[in-house]
Amino acid sequence: MGERIERVAVIGGGLIGASWAALFLAHGLTVAVHEPAADVAQGVARRVADAWPDLQALGLARGTFDAAQPRLTVTSDVAAALQTTDFVQECGPDRLPLKHRIIAAIEPHLKPEVIIASSSSALMPSEIQQGATHPDRILVGHPFNPPHLIPLVELVAGHATSQNAVERAQAFYHRLGREVIVPLREMRGHVANRLTAALYREAVHLVAEGIATVADVDRAISAGPGLRWALMGPHLTYYLGGGDGGLRHYLEHLGPAQEARWAELGAPRLDARTIAALVSGMDDALKGSTADTLAARRDAALVALLRAKADSGL
């Protein structure tokens, strides 16, 4: 396709937008962040600077952030942010009327072929592109928090999205070292957040039923199967656990037991009693650690984990 995306606009300068901006800057791109709220806008450069050492440790960022900073603009002026932009990463609030308002505001400033990739987790691309002037260039490019560290991008096409836009977006994200999956069709929650919701439902059920504490449910994952899931997904894990008979033999023989286990999984409600149990269990689990401390440790560990994984060939 020969396209060379050099200038990216990020719409929304919150946690996700700033993290995307850091990733784009690390790859030598010129980035304009559009953020109407002054206090949020002021935090963008600091967030990018905070992300920079991790990007360097991963071999993604060349040079210092000070050297990269001239390539970063943060502005409340949409027209200025979108001038000569080659790609838009939209990170506004995840509500449909707001997405439609954002797209109506930015389309007049864009060349028709410029892709608008929405970071939306809750909305489907066919909804987002409704009423757009050029719906064919609108798709979902859903990252995971924090986008500059977690490689996954779910690239989802809506009914009106062109195959050309999907391919150009995929090539762009690959250039950024992202692990791109392209679902065969759109579904609420895309793929990863549906899997996350399934795990969380049973995690809530076990606490609500008094089977285990919040802390122990979490350790049951992070000291157990979660260690494997950082390396391989549930299908391959199940396959490797199945022994020498092959997956078909395993599923045909143990399938009924698996179905019986599924039938026994919980269907909790987030009622007042369950919320109280979750809140008090989380207080116990935190043992006084703050969210900021834990997020910083998580990010440091993620960098080490990603490096170890890259070395393993998985």
Contact flag: residue 300 with its own copies (CB under 8 A):
yes
Contact flag: residue 224 with its own copies (CB under 8 A):
yes
Contact flag: residue 216 with its own copies (CB under 8 A):
yes
- The residue count for the chain: 314
- The stretch among 18-26, 40-48, 72-80, 296-304 that binds its own copies (CB under 8 A) is 296-304
Rounded to a whole number of angstroms, the minimum distance from the CB of residue 28 to its own copies is 23
Contact flag: residue 144 with its own copies (CB under 8 A):
yes
Query: Between residues 80 and 240, which has the closer beta carbon with respect to its own copies?
Result: 240
Contact flag: residue 241 with its own copies (CB under 8 A):
yes
Contact flag: residue 37 with its own copies (CB under 8 A):
no
Owner of token pair 């994984």:
309
Long-range contacts of 48-57 (CB under 8 A, 24+ apart): 48/18, 48/21, 48/22, 48/72, 51/18, 51/19, 51/22, 51/23, 51/146, 51/148, 52/22, 52/26, 54/148, 54/149, 54/299, 54/300, 54/302, 54/303, 55/22, 55/23, 55/26, 55/148, 57/303, 57/307
> Which residues inside 62-121 make contact with its own copies, applying CB under 8 A?
none
Between the two ends of the chain, the Cα-to-Cα distance in Å is 29
Question: Residue 165 burial (CB < 10 Å; 0-12/13-18/19+)?
Answer: buried
> Which residues inside 258-277 make contact with its own copies, applying CB under 8 A?
258-259, 261-262, 264-265, 267, 269-270, 275
Query: Between residues 96 and 282, which has the closer beta carbon with respect to its own copies?
Result: 282
- The stretch among 19-27, 79-87, 106-114, 233-241 that binds its own copies (CB under 8 A) is 233-241
Contact flag: residue 159 with its own copies (CB under 8 A):
no
